[in-house]
Structure 1
Amino acid sequence: MLATISPYEEPESSPSYCCLTIDPEFQNLIPPPSTEELAILEANLSQEGCLQPLIVWKNHNILLDGHNRYQICTQLHIRYTTLEIELPNREAALTWIVNHQLGRRNITPETASYLRGKRYSLLKGNREDNLKQNSPKGQNVTSVDIAEELAQQYKVSSRTIKRDAQFSEAIDTLALAMGEEIKQDILGRNANIPKKEALSLFQIVKTEGEQVARHRLEQLRHPIDIVERIRNKKLLPNPRRVGEVCQIVAKGDTELKKVSGCWCIIVGVNTYSCAIRTWKMDFDAVKPENLEPIDGASEEKAAFISSRIRQLADKMYEDFDPTHAAALEAFGRLPNPATLTPKQERLLAFLETEYSGI
């Protein structure tokens, strides 16, 4: 059911969240955006309006998706719509939120790990509670291990699911001890605390206390040696240009590791960074030293092939097949994306035919 909300009229003293119910557990499943991301969202909503409906749990009036948009819209009196979905219970609502977030294209590996871990812990706890309630008196109830079930669903190993649960526990403990903003430090696109350091902070909180952990957190947020290195480094003008076809080289950039070796097309050039498009995702600020031009690659042909592969990647999220995804991954790592062999062209055409109806 799609409902249109009229221009918001509220007394100055009333809270921002007064039409829809905000459930803290639901909201905290979604990593908070950075200050820059929030500013961009506010600018887009102010200029274009709220184009996507807010997702609401039917008959409960609880917001499931769109918390940041809802807050901005209520504060700035921007019209929005809601889409109500029916869910049988709270566990189903939590599952919907997790799966919806995991389906987003630009989700970070750390966020995916956190969400899988939350799903495991919630589902495991609910099943154990059900067993205890329905078991005869005096009968011992063993721990229910559902890692294998989730591993098959999310295409990872059961050991990964259990490590994800440990990671999500660590994040929630740190957020409780030091504030929700630490989630952005660990799970955000520009995170400054690696997963290994987050787990180390968790151990410090448990063994040495919150004060020692806060001191270590400040060191991670403001590393003096890196700051001094940046101050002393002389930045060179950006040699790249829009349309140029390049290969991505991580060179210490952790965010680029997952696409290192892939080819990309430069779609924007700033003074010291580039915006690039790969076969499956975009990056807004990549340093020129992380981009190596591919000599002899036709920019026009590469752009055409990139568009074909990108459209396929988007459709595969609706009907995922690991074999087809592996084929697209191979296309994303071609040495010269502007030139396809006859076999490669036939394979790409076959995939386009397979997904043409989606």
Structure 2
Amino acid sequence: MLQIDSEFKNLIPPLSSEEKLQLEANLKEFGCLDPLIVWQGENILLDGHNRYEICTREQIPYKIVEIEIGDREAAICWIANHQLGRRNITPEVASYLRGKRYLNLKGDRTGNLKQNSPNGNYFRSVDAAKSLAEQYKVTDRTIRNDALFTEALDTLEQSLGDEVKHSILARNSGLTKKDVLSLAKVADEEGQEVAQKLLSMKQNKSDIVQQIKDKKPVPNPHFVGEVCRITPKADPDLKPFSGCWCIVYQINLHSCGIKTWKVDFETVKPENLERTYGVEENAASRNCDRLRCLANKVHSDYEATYTAVLEVLGKVKNPSSLTQRQERLLTFLEGEY
């Protein structure tokens, strides 16, 4: 009998009724083809909670794979990374998982103290937000905002039930992140009853601004795959990337998700993106991937000269058609690593 850890289970987005019925039908017809992942020595399930529940109930045979996990933080890290690697998660789920990782790292002082000095006299404190930002290719501020969102969701789950949390993660609640934060504050300071009333008001709200938006929606002028140039204007997070070219990977109602040579930005306003012309999108995307791969390795190597080269390549006029010298520089760096 496998053990179910409630904290681990809550890190995994629940299936909709339709998805769960389809999973059950597939398991009955084809069997459990993918093994369940279990924490070795602890017998705690890390991945496959829905399959395990259905297989146990319907007496469908299943296999398990045990993996070595050092502690709970490592288990949470594994689950979060495993879920973040899936294509069908919502931006809210990604934010929640990154926030969970940050809160666990931040709460574990020993996890933030690494790398002895040569003489062993002191530890260097590692900024958890910066470390996770580099790993997930977002900004430090995004990680800290993720943590606030995670804490707010957990508060709402305790106060209003897990259905509210799940509906927010599935993008079915109609609540913005700002709504979630304010609702959690009310739940924490004024109690469940007041929070429930506020939730009902927010979900039924149709103010003048929303009516105008519904009647005259302004279409987002960008599209997925488009190559743009970053113009920071009043956004301080974008200033270090002024003039960099980027790839639009997600279109939101009033913002875009973009990928640069170094990090991703989940919500960039359309006015911060300048259209480029004469750029072949697929070739630019391939070159972006090449630079991203190198950026990770060069950063780990702390090679300032190579980083400077990547920064220059991140601002070239036509990222889809590098000059001969630019291509030689990029090929040389790829050969170095």
Tell me if TM exceeds 0.5: yes
Q: Are residues 1:112 and 2:134 paired? A: no
Match of 2:80 among 92, 97, 101: 101
Residue 263 of structure 1 is matched in structure 2 by 246
TM-score in terms of structure 2 length: 0.58
Question: Residues 182, 95 of structure 1: CA spacing in aligned structure 2 closer, same or farther, 3 A cutoff?
Answer: farther
Structure 2: how far apart are the matches of 1:84 and 1:76?
23
> How many angstroms does 1:117 deviate by?
0.9
Residue 286 of structure 2 is matched in structure 1 by 307
Structure 1: how far apart are the matches of 2:148 and 2:291?
35
Residue 177 of structure 1 is matched in structure 2 by 159
Superposed counterparts of 1:276-291, under 5 Å: 278=259
Secondary structure at the counterpart of residue 108 of structure 1:
helix
Residue 13 of structure 2 is matched in structure 1 by 32
Q: Is the 8 A contact 1:205 1:213 kept in 2?
A: yes
> How many angstroms does 1:150 deviate by?
5.7
Structure 2: how far apart are the matches of 1:55 and 1:65?
5
> How many angstroms does 1:211 deviate by?
1.7
Residue 20 of structure 1 is matched in structure 2 by 2
Structure 2: how far apart are the matches of 1:223 and 1:25?
33
Superposed counterparts of 1:191-270, under 5 Å: 193-225=175-207, 228-229=211-212, 231-233=214-216, 245=227, 263-264=246-247
> How many angstroms does 1:197 deviate by?
3.8
> How many angstroms does 1:85 deviate by?
1.4
Q: Are residues 1:60 and 2:17 paired? A: no
Question: Residues 244, 219 of structure 1: CA spacing in aligned structure 2 closer, same or farther, 3 A cutoff?
Answer: same
Q: Are residues 1:348 and 2:325 paired? A: no
Structure 2: how far apart are the matches of 1:125 and 1:180?
31
Q: Is the 8 A contact 1:265 1:303 kept in 2?
A: no
Residue 131 of structure 2 is matched in structure 1 by 154
Q: Percent identity?
A: 36
> How many angstroms does 1:93 deviate by?
3.2
Residue 140 of structure 1 is matched in structure 2 by none
Question: Residues 279, 151 of structure 1: CA spacing in aligned structure 2 closer, same or farther, 3 A cutoff?
Answer: closer
AA in 2 matched with 1:295: Y
Per mean C-alpha deviation after superposition, the further-off stretch among 207-216 and 180-189 is: 180-189
| TM-align CA RMSD | 6.0
Residue 135 of structure 1 is matched in structure 2 by none
> How many angstroms does 1:21 deviate by?
2.7
Secondary structure at the counterpart of residue 56 of structure 1:
strand
Q: Is the 8 A contact 1:263 1:333 kept in 2?
A: no
Structure 2: how far apart are the matches of 1:243 and 1:202?
36
Q: Deviations over 1:173-230 (max 9, x none)?
A: 2211112244346556788545444333232112222122123233444541365345
AA in 2 matched with 1:98: C
Structure 2: how far apart are the matches of 1:333 and 1:41?
47
Give ranges in structure 2 of 5+ residues lacking alignment. 86-90, 112-122, 134-138, 233-240
Structure 1: how far apart are the matches of 2:105 and 2:22?
28
> Number of aligned pairs?
297
TM-score in terms of structure 1 length: 0.55
AA in 1 matched with 2:103: G
Secondary structure at the counterpart of residue 154 of structure 2:
helix
Q: Is the 8 A contact 2:248 2:257 kept in 1?
A: yes
Secondary structure at the counterpart of residue 162 of structure 2:
coil
Question: Residues 179, 153 of structure 1: CA spacing in aligned structure 2 closer, same or farther, 3 A cutoff?
Answer: same
Q: Is the 8 A contact 2:223 2:248 kept in 1?
A: no
AA in 2 matched with 1:154: S
> How many angstroms does 1:331 deviate by?
5.6
Q: Is the 8 A contact 2:229 2:276 kept in 1?
A: yes
AA in 2 matched with 1:26: F
Match of 2:277 among 295, 303, 308: 295
> How many angstroms does 1:87 deviate by?
3.3
Q: Deviations over 1:91-139 (max 9, x none)?
A: x034332255157357734531233113433x3699xxxxxxxxxxxxx
Structure 2: how far apart are the matches of 1:78 and 1:282?
42
Residue 86 of structure 1 is matched in structure 2 by 68
Per mean C-alpha deviation after superposition, the further-off stretch among 51-60 and 99-108 is: 99-108
Q: Is the 8 A contact 1:98 1:116 kept in 2?
A: no
Q: Deviations over 1:271-325 (max 9, x none)?
A: x9xx999568999xxxx9998753212x3xx413423532664687799738788
Per mean C-alpha deviation after superposition, the further-off stretch among 63-72 and 181-190 is: 181-190
